[in-house]
Structure 1
Amino acid sequence: MSALRDLRGYPDRAGAALADELAGRWNQTLTAPETAKDAAVLMLFAAAPGHGGADPEQLRPEQLDLLLLQRATTLGSHAGEVAFPGGKLEPGDADEAAAALREAVEETGLDPSGVEIVGALPVHPLPYSNFMVTPVLAWWKTTSPVYVVDWRESAEVFRIPVRELLDPRHRVTASLRRAGLVFESPAFLVRGVFIWGFTGKLLDETFHYLGWAPEWDPERKHHFTL
């Protein structure tokens, strides 16, 4: 199995099926579609430490890692959540990929010359903040140091092993109680990091369509309240 080959084929292979899955499985609508803003996030995969010298075409999924950040707890929206680098499109952005990469540079300090854009996935609704989000899949062919650029926006920037994200022991269903309502999403508990909500759904969906995800028990619940 070549993880990089899987990633490169994912946008074309899964596009139509994924769009149907979004409509049926998520069953989410934007509260104000006429004013929704366009945004993009960068799903940046890389060879995990110890595998950087290997032939990229021969790497397996469990030999990769993924760039994530934790949003600052002082933010007004999605405070403290683990997320992919990204943000809203700006007038100067050529497309969603350019916006995702620009935001990643602004948030993590990575060197964009080392990033290969693989392709864009279907647009995902994010009802809570009224965004239409395009996930942009990318390969970090030449990694560079990353760090928190602006502490007002991010609390931490880190890379997390795909091997641990795929481990069924780290998979749960997040059950959030807010304002008397219960919201559920696929979630991951890895190294003390709790990944849920939009990012948890996006990871779950990506691993599913790549064919990387082993069976896990969605009845394992992690209950919390905001």
Structure 2
Amino acid sequence: MVGLFASRHGHLNILLTRRSKTMRTYAGETALPGGKMEPQDVSIEETARREAYEECGITRNRHKVRKLATLAPFLTRGNLIVTPVVFFIADQTLIPRLNAKEVDVIFSHPLPRFLTGPFSRSYEIPWFSTNVPYRMFEFPSKHSPIVGFTADVLIEVAVLGYGREPDYERKAEGQLSMREIITIALREASEFQSDEQAHRVAKHDLLEDGPRGTLARLLHALSRPSITWSFSSLGKLFLPKL
């Protein structure tokens, strides 16, 4: 779950967690709430809502936590395909309830920082068998650095939401798109036998006025000094125009 909420200063904050130090993987690292789809989940949205509730106690009430967009999938260095789902947390009275087995801290970070920096460092790594460089970023935060896949997702959300590229060079020279990376990874996996199959699985077409349009309208509303956040105003803001 990419959980956004309005700050007092008129911009968006991101809800982040620090994974418990007893976790088997990525212990003590900054992460977005989320996890693998379970058999009972009817959609990726339901997976995101369930995981956020289990990890952080974020209500599954659709009026209080409204889905904004499903982004194109990312491939992690652990070879997992992850599809981020963006939500707006409209109820400012929500009180998180931590699952201490998975999360030891919940904190927020301003979304604009992923466009303007500062970031602690950037570095390039060869991506799997392609040996093509992929640029990674590390952003400082008040609890633990925001790195890797989490940083990638939040840069993308900021780019979509604010409608512009970051102030820094986002990609390495010759860096492949995430869709190209996923296509290559799927083609190399034994269960995908052809380029056509891999491309079909990797393809993730979005409506022209999908996440970019929705998030842009949210940010436009945030820029109005008299905006009052409520479900009714969000409903008017995000209902499709006929």
| TM-score bracket for the superposition, by shorter chain length | 0.5 to 0.7
Aligned equivalent of 1:110: 58
Residue 111 of structure 2 aligns with an amino acid whose one-letter code is V
Say which one has the larger Rg. 2
Deviation of 1:213 after TM superposition, in Å, equals 4.8
Q: What is the 5 A alignment of 1:30-49?
A: 42-48=1-7
**Structure 1 residue 90 corresponds to structure 2 residue 38:** yes
Q: Give 3-state SS (helix, strand or coil) of 1:169's partner.
A: coil
Determine what percentage of the aligned residue pairs are the same residue: 28
Q: Give 3-state SS (helix, strand or coil) of 2:159's partner.
A: helix
Residue 72 of structure 2 aligns with an amino acid whose one-letter code is P
Task: Kindly indicate whether the alpha-carbon contact (under 8 Å) linking 2:116 and 2:167 is maintained by their aligned counterparts in 1.
Answer: no
Aligned equivalent of 2:167: 215
Whole-angstrom distance in 1 between the partners of 2:40 and 2:98: 24
Residue 95 of structure 2 aligns with an amino acid whose one-letter code is P
Aligned equivalent of 1:4: none
Residue 197 of structure 1 aligns with an amino acid whose one-letter code is G
Deviation of 1:125 after TM superposition, in Å, equals 1.8
Output the TM-score relative to the length of structure 1: 0.62
Whole-angstrom distance in 2 between the partners of 1:213 and 1:142: 30
Larger strand share, 1 or 2? 1
Show CA shifts across 1:132-185 (max 9, x none). 211001111113111422x22112111222244443224631578xxxxx9851
Q: What is the 5 A alignment of 1:170-209?
A: 170=119, 172-174=121-123, 185-209=136-160
Show CA shifts across 1:68-106 (max 9, x none). 101112222122211110001011111000100110011
Q: What is the 5 A alignment of 1:1-226?
A: 42-48=1-7, 50=8, 59=10, 63-113=11-61, 114-128=64-78, 130-143=79-92, 144-149=94-99, 151-170=100-119, 172-174=121-123, 185-210=136-161, 211-216=163-168
Output the TM-score relative to the length of structure 2: 0.59
Answer with 209-218 or 135-144: which moved more. Answer: 209-218
Compared with structure 1, are the counterparts of its residues 127 and 170 closer, same or farther at alpha carbon in structure 2 (3 Å cutoff)?
closer
Task: Kindly indicate whether the alpha-carbon contact (under 8 Å) linking 2:18 and 2:28 is maintained by their aligned counterparts in 1.
Answer: yes
Structure 2 unaligned runs (5+)? 126-132, 172-242
